[in-house]
């Protein structure tokens, strides 16, 4: 290849990129003897919905009775076609009952005779029956707000206690109830998580401090393990991708350190909500596909933080939700398109890296609802592009990870929507010490039900209404440069607040959220936090930014009266960490247990024209080869109108002198199988 080379670490080995991206060829060299550990198929998990009417306002019968399509309540069985599709996708870990619907979820209302739960025909026994049908390990998310430790001990008894009067807690014989529900033998459920994104509250005005959450976690775990010491309970960390991880994550790790079985993070990147087609799809997905190294570094640092704050080396991560966070419909629903499928293929590559200590991962989510990878409540079912990623991995990947060298073109992106810029040579993060916020008073915009004033440099905000008020009416402004980082730091506290949302700061583009949907929020502080707490967040400006707008905030979603205090705001510029230009190929390699077949899973992020790619084996030669490519007419193509617009078909490649050559189609995921010369 011509041009100088850019070096960057990636799963499967070293990635070499041609600076400037001028090269039109690529080479993948796979060392058949350089083993990196076993392939972890538990990252091929998924989410099933069992939302409860009393617990979540978005519940519909399709979720509480049909599990969003996987359960047949009339025949009281899993839907056979959906079972077959789950098996074809290699679905290995199944999570229930789903997301924020867990906050006020009462598991006891989902078991027992159906006449006693007429609006919950898809409950806990039905979910576990579905897991057994597809051969998946269950992970149950329990409410961190509603049940007592004794209630959670009863849950473990229902799932795992032997039949025959063991009944360790007295009262209801939960094993006998399980038998009446159709399963006399224990289900032996091991993995439970304590809450879902609990740091943001329950959407009904309740929110724990991290100390309160940690205390409740420890009590819950003690009660659950008293019934079955085998169970594992995971603690929720803050769902952010920030350099300092925030006070929730740090406090939970410190307070629960001796008691943690695993910790939980949700991976949603990029975060895009615009419906105006800006930027165009090609620019957006070049940006979205540039996030691999950023998330690799996040999880590497998170593992280091866990070791630092707990003093332990044995606490794995569970990524119980992941997806590209595209919340929009126009010009097409990007969450359902080919480009997002390629982003999720990169997430799977990331989660398989042994050094990141990720025990399991669950895509959000399997069927129907807003995000489902399968569409339809009856045949013919539509496989959306995200589904094919999992199918390719299940059908065309091995048992042992291998190292590989990748030489390929690169491209650059200015970043945005949570993705950092990727340009030129790699560059380290650098924070400048100066405060660049000009001296100024808060600009106060009157709002009904709120009294605002500045007292001795402190902004004091009295919320005097019971309405669910989204407060953003005190602002400061400062000039800004494009594509530069700005770190906001300040102090907040509250008095008498009865809200799930506490005081915080927001920094974002000066044109406002409605115009750009580009901003960052500090963590908030919750009800009862009367001491000053320092909070901070990082924001990287848009390519056309001219200034920044700072808000004193209290988000809507759980309103209430109380007093908010804000002081000591400062803003420092920083040069964002730059991982260098983006290699157009994302490569994951493995071999079969017997060593006779080598596999490569290749994401081609180039969006125009095929890329001629050689696949060479180090320590062996290729005897024969086959390939299958997932692609479509455009990177934003979906299967919503034409179910075969994005699909998999066998792709030609040639073998000459022990080397395979393939023309990788643009915006594609290609699975390659190389038979080793014996």
- Residue range 199-236, pLDDT digits in tens: 888 877 788 889 999 999 999 999 999 999 999 999 99
Report whether pLDDT(20) > 70: no
Residue 79 maps to a domain:
yes
Residue 371 maps to a domain:
yes
Q: How much of the chain exceeds pLDDT 70, in percent?
A: 95
Cis peptide before 97 (omega within 30 of 0): yes
Report whether pLDDT(181) > 90: yes
> What value does the mean pLDDT take over residues 441-462?
96
* Residues 522 and 390 both lie in one domain: no
Q: Which of 575, 594, 614 is the last residue of a domain?
A: 575
> What value does the mean pLDDT take over residues 345-371?
98
Interval 483-536: pLDDT, tens? 899 999 999 999 988 777 889 999 999 999 999 988 999 988 876 667 898 999
Total domains, the chain: 2
* Residues 387 and 467 both lie in one domain: no
What is the Cα–Cα distance from 591 to 358, expressed in whole angstroms? 21
Mean pLDDT over all residues of the chain? 92
* Residues 378 and 473 both lie in one domain: no
Burial 404-416 (b: 16+ CB within 10 A, else e): bbbbbbbbbbbbb
Residue 254: CB atoms within 10 Å? 14
Residue 124 maps to a domain:
yes
Burial 34-62 (b: 16+ CB within 10 A, else e): eebeebbbbbbbbbbbbbbeebbeebeeb
Interval 604-619: pLDDT, tens? 999 999 999 999 999 9
* Least confident piece of the model among 264-273, 513-522, 661-670: 513-522
* Residues 391 and 469 both lie in one domain: no
Q: Could you list the residue range(s) of the whole structural domain that residue 496 is in? A: 430-575
Q: How much of the chain exceeds pLDDT 90, in percent?
A: 82
Interval 59-97: pLDDT, tens? 789 999 999 999 999 999 999 999 999 999 999 999 999
Task: Calculate the alpha carbon distances from 578 to 8, 291, 293, 543, 581 in Å.
Answer: 11, 11, 10, 15, 8
Residue 665 maps to a domain:
no
* DSSP calls for 119-169: T-SS-HHHHHHHHHHHT-EEEEEEPSSS--HHHHHHHHHHHHPPTTT--TT
* Residues 74 and 210 both lie in one domain: yes
* Residues 392 and 498 both lie in one domain: no
Interval 328-355: pLDDT, tens? 999 999 999 999 999 999 999 999 999 9
* Least confident piece of the model among 56-60, 224-228, 385-389: 56-60
Q: Which has the higher per-residue pLDDT, 20 or 484?
A: 484
pLDDT band per the 50, 70, 90 thresholds, residue 466 = confident
Candidates 594, 204, 618; CA nearest to 399 is 594
Q: Which of 349, 376, 396 is the last residue of a domain?
A: 396
Q: Would you state the pLDDT for residue 347?
A: 98
CATH number where 477 lies: 2.60.120.260
Q: Which of 575, 603, 638 is the last residue of a domain?
A: 575
> What value does the mean pLDDT take over residues 632-647?
98
Q: Would you state the pLDDT for residue 251?
A: 92
Q: Would you state the pLDDT for residue 246?
A: 78
Q: Are the C-beta atoms of 488 and 569 separated by less than 8 Å?
A: yes
* Residues 392 and 528 both lie in one domain: no
pLDDT band per the 50, 70, 90 thresholds, residue 168 = confident
Start-to-end C-alpha separation, the chain: 31
Interval 542-600: pLDDT, tens? 889 999 999 999 988 666 788 999 999 999 999 988 899 999 999 999 999 999 999 99
Q: Would you state the pLDDT for residue 57?
A: 74
* Residues 53 and 140 both lie in one domain: yes
Residue 207 maps to a domain:
yes
Residue 202: CB atoms within 10 Å? 23
Tokens of 57: 């306002």
CATH number where 373 lies: 3.20.20.80
Residue 506 maps to a domain:
yes
pLDDT band per the 50, 70, 90 thresholds, residue 8 = very low
* Residues 46 and 167 both lie in one domain: yes
* Residues 542 and 442 both lie in one domain: yes
What is the Cα–Cα distance from 224 to 232, expressed in whole angstroms? 9
Handedness of CA 254, 259, 263, 264 (dihedral sign): negative
* Residues 228 and 371 both lie in one domain: yes
Residue 91 maps to a domain:
yes
Q: Would you state the pLDDT for residue 17?
A: 45
What is the Cα–Cα distance from 568 to 550, expressed in whole angstroms? 13
Residue 597 maps to a domain:
no
Q: Would you state the pLDDT for residue 284?
A: 97
Report whether pLDDT(311) > 90: yes
What is the Cα–Cα distance from 185 to 189, expressed in whole angstroms? 12
Q: Would you state the pLDDT for residue 582?
A: 97
* Residues 388 and 452 both lie in one domain: no
pLDDT band per the 50, 70, 90 thresholds, residue 98 = confident
């Amino acid at each position: 290849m011509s041009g100088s080379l850019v070096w960057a670490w990636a799963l499967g080995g070293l990635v070499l990129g041609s600076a400037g991206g001028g090269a039109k060829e690529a080479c993948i060299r796979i060392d058949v003897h350089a083993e990196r550990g076993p392939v972890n198929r538990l990252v091929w998990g998924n989410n099933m919905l069992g939302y409860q009417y009393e617990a979540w306002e978005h519940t519909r019968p399709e979720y509480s009775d049909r599990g969003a399509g996987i359960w047949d309540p009339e025949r009281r069985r899993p839907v056979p076609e959906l079972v077959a599709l789950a098996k074809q996708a290699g679905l290995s870990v199944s999570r229930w009952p789903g997301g924020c619907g867990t906050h006020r979820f009462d598991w006891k209302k989902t078991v027992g005779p159906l006449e006693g739960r007429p609006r919950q025909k898809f409950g806990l026994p039905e979910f576990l029956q579905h897991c057994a049908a597809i051969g998946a390990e269950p992970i149950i998310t329990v409410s961190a707000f509603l049940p007592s430790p004794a209630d959670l001990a009863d849950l473990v008894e229902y799932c795992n206690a032997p039949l025959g009067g063991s009944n360790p807690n007295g009262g209801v014989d939960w094993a006998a109830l399980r038998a009446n529900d159709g399963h006399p033998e224990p289900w032996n459920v091991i993995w439970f998580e304590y809450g879902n994104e609990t740091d943001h509250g329950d959407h009904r005005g309740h929110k724990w401090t991290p100390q309160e959450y940690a205390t409740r976690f420890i009590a819950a775990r003690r009660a659950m393990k008293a019934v079955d010491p085998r169970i594992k309970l995971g603690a929720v960390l803050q769902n952010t991708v920030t350099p300092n991880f925030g006070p929730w994550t740090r406090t939970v790790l410190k307070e629960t350190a001796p008691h943690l079985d695993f910790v939980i993070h949700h991976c949603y990147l990029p975060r895009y909500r615009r419906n105006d087609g800006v930027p165009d799809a090609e620019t957006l997905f070049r940006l979205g596909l540039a996030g691999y190294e950023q998330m690799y570094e996040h999880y590497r640092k998170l593992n280091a933080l866990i070791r630092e704050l707990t003093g332990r080396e044995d606490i794995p991560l569970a990524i119980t939700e992941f997806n590209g966070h595209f919340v929009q419909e126009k010009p097409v629903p990007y969450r359902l398109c080919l480009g997002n499928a390629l982003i999720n293929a990169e997430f799977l590559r990331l989660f398989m890296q042994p050094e990141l200590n990720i025990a399991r991962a669950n895509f959000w989510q399997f069927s129907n609802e807003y995000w489902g990878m399968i569409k339809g409540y009856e045949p013919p079912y539509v496989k959306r592009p995200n589904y094919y990623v999992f199918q390719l991995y299940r059908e065309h990947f091995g048992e042992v990870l291998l190292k590989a060298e990748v030489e390929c073109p690169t491209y650059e992106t200015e970043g945005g929507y949570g993705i950092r810029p990727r340009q030129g040579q790699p560059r380290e993060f650098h924070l400048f010490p100066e405060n660049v916020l000009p001296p100024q008073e808060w600009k106060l915009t009157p709002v009904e039900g709120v009294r605002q004033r500045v007292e001795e440099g402190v902004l004091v905000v009295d919320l005097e209404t019971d309405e669910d008020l989204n407060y953003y009416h005190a602002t400061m402004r400062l000039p800004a440069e494009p594509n530069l980082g700005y770190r906001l730091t300040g102090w907040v506290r509250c008095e008498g607040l009865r809200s799930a949302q506490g005081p915080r700061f927001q920094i974002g583009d000066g044109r406002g959220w409605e115009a750009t949907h580009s901003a960052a929020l500090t963590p908030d502080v919750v009800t009862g936090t009367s001491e000053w707490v320092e909070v901070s967040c990082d924001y990287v400006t848009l390519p056309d930014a001219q200034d920044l707008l700072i808000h004193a905030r209290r988000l809507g979603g759980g309103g209430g009266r109380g007093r908010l205090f804000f002081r000591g705001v400062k803003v420092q510029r920083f040069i964002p960490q730059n991982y260098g230009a983006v290699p157009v190929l994302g490569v994951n390699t493995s071999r079969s247990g017997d060593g006779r077949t080598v596999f490569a899973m290749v994401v081609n992020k180039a969006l125009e024209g095929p890329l001629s790619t050689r696949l060479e084996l180090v320590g062996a030669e290729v005897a024969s080869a086959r390939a299958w490519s997932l692609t479509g007419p455009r990177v934003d193509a979906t299967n919503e109108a034409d179910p075969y617009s994005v699909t998999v078909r066998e792709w030609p490649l040639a073998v000459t002198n022990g080397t395979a050559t393939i023309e990788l189609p643009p915006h594609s995921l290609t699975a390659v199988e190389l038979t080793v010369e014996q």
